[in-house]
Amino acid sequence: MRLTAGPIALLVASAVCLATAPILLPESYSWIAHTTSESAAQGVEGAWLARLGFLLWGFGVLWEVRLNRSRWDKWTARLHLAFGVFMIATAAFSARPWEADARFDPIEDALHSFTATAMGFAFALGVLGAMLHKLRQGSRRVVLDVIAIAAATLIPICMAIWGDVDGLLQRFMFLTAYAWYVREAL
């Protein structure tokens, strides 16, 4: 029997941190308009909770990779390993604040953008790898895989088009990713 409670507990704790982080932020933060990266932004009081959420998510996925290495093929495991590492790096390198006049380090912001983007690619490709493995094994239970891949690829495009609801769209994408990782842990 696999010990799945640990990764699931970290994923749930991560989701709670990211969901409640806006409570600690200045009133100008909107969870509908602003991303989770902005809730963990440089120099923002209370941003520690969102950063903790990113760290817990990254470590939860690393733990899950360890548990699933016999179930996932080598490349799928490596892609999810990359996701976990990039998630931790995303916590280490914070984005610029949402307020236009706030000071920030542009190099740290660029590193955050790079790690967050790489994380998204690692997730989408890792889910695709897991789905293809399931299909090769004869399983047809891939609906959540398809939804997760669609969310990871289409939502960032929608965020570029409808910037006034970035936070809401991203949170739906994250909810999908959390659900995928929990299902895989079970």
**pTM of the entire predicted model:** 0.94
**What is the C-alpha to C-alpha distance for residues 16 and 21, in angstroms, rounded to an integer?**
8
- The residue assigned the tokens 């990871």 is 152
Helix (H, G, I), strand (E, B) or coil at 101: coil
What are the pLDDT digits (tens) for 114-162? 999 999 999 999 999 999 999 999 998 999 999 999 999 999 999 999 9
What are the pLDDT digits (tens) for 69-96? 888 999 999 999 999 999 999 999 999 9
Helix, strand, coil in percent for the chain, rounding step 5:
75, 0, 25
What are the pLDDT digits (tens) for 160-182? 999 899 999 999 999 999 999 99
**How many structural domains are present in the chain?**
1
**What is the C-alpha to C-alpha distance for residues 130 and 32, in angstroms, rounded to an integer?**
31
Confidence of residue 2 (pLDDT cuts 50, 70, 90): low
pLDDT of residue 1: 44
Q: How many helical (H) and strand (E) elements, i.e. helices and strands, does the chain have?
A: 7, 0
Structural domain boundaries, residue 42: 5-185
Helix (H, G, I), strand (E, B) or coil at 174: helix
What's the mean per-residue pLDDT of the chain? Answer: 95
Both tokens of 8, joined, read: 């699931």
What are the pLDDT digits (tens) for 48-58? 999 999 999 99
- The residue assigned the tokens 């890792």 is 126
In percent, the amount of the chain with pLDDT more than 90 equals 92
Distance of CA 110 to the CA centre of its chain: 17
